[in-house]
Each structure stands twice: as C-alpha cells, then as structure tokens.
Amino acid sequence: MNVEIVDFAETMIAVLEHRGPHTKVMESVRNFIGWRKQSGLSPIASSRTFGIAYDDPANTPEEEFRFDVCGEIDRPVPANPQSVITKRIPSGRCAVVRHIGSTDRISDSVYYLFREWLPKSGEELRDFPLFFHYIKRVPETPEHEQVTDVYLPLV
C-alpha cells in the first residue's frame, strides 16, 4: 500500500453520532442522508463525506461502539429532529492510504496502517481518531470500485 503524509486542513462537519452495534451504522447513514437532503446544508454533490471511527468493531462491545457519520458544511448546524450536530476535524499531519473496493474490507487498510506502517514509520499518533473520506460510493459506483481515503492523524 502507498502511504502518503499530508497536511489536512481543519474541516467543519455535520455529524450524526452512531452509538451501538456496528451492524446498524447503515441505518445512521440513511438518517444522515435524509438530513442532508432535507436541510440542504451539506449537499452530497459538492460536500465531502466523512466517517470518524472511534472504535474497532472487532474488539469493542456492541453497545459501546462509536462512529460519526459526517458531511462537510460551511456553517454551524441548527437544531434539528435528527440530532445532527456540528463538529470539526482538526488540521494537522495525517498518514493517508487509498482503499479501493468494498468498505466491508476497509479494515485491511486500517490494520495495515496500524500494524505494518506505523511501527516502522517513526511517526506518533495524534489525539484524534482515524477517519475516512468517502470519495466514490454506492449506488453511484459499483461496490468493488468504491474509493475511500483512510486518514491516520499524526503528531
């Protein structure tokens, strides 16, 4: 895998906080997409889509799993019935690797960064979770051609 070090610019995001089984993240995604369409604050065609992974579903109890479903915004989110809130992805250095294919296999890229690349890199983790930038997603893109950049925040 090709790992690049990039400077990520601070990004204001609208966030639907998913808490609970990772198998239900897609329900949160559908709710977030509904909010995006209804509010018009984070148009899918012109705003980046992110996911923030606080926990590894492979070793986190279902009831404790946390994942933020996010869309880029240019102003704070007003109160809404979907409980979408405003957060920021902070600026800073990140290792990034491009994952091609189904997000069902994205753990391959994540584990590579943590288990293979990081120990050999001499880099240190920053106090912010790993996050995903979803570039090409279904239904517009076939599942095996999806493109996701995986960001690992560094000191």
- The CATH class given to the 3-148 domain equals alpha beta
Asked if 99 contacts 148 with a C-beta cutoff of 8 angstroms, the reply is yes
Task: Return the DSSP state at 138.
Answer: T
Overall average pLDDT of the 141-152 stretch: 93
Q: What angle do CA 98, 101, 104 make, to 5 degrees?
A: 105
Query: Alpha-carbon distance 87 to 109, whole Å?
Result: 25
**Residue of 89, 104, 105, 94 lying closest to 48 (CA atoms):** 89
Percent above pLDDT 90 for the chain: 91
State pTM to two decimals. Answer: 0.95
**Residue of 48, 13, 2, 3 lying closest to 128 (CA atoms):** 13
Residue 20 has pLDDT above 90, yes or no: yes
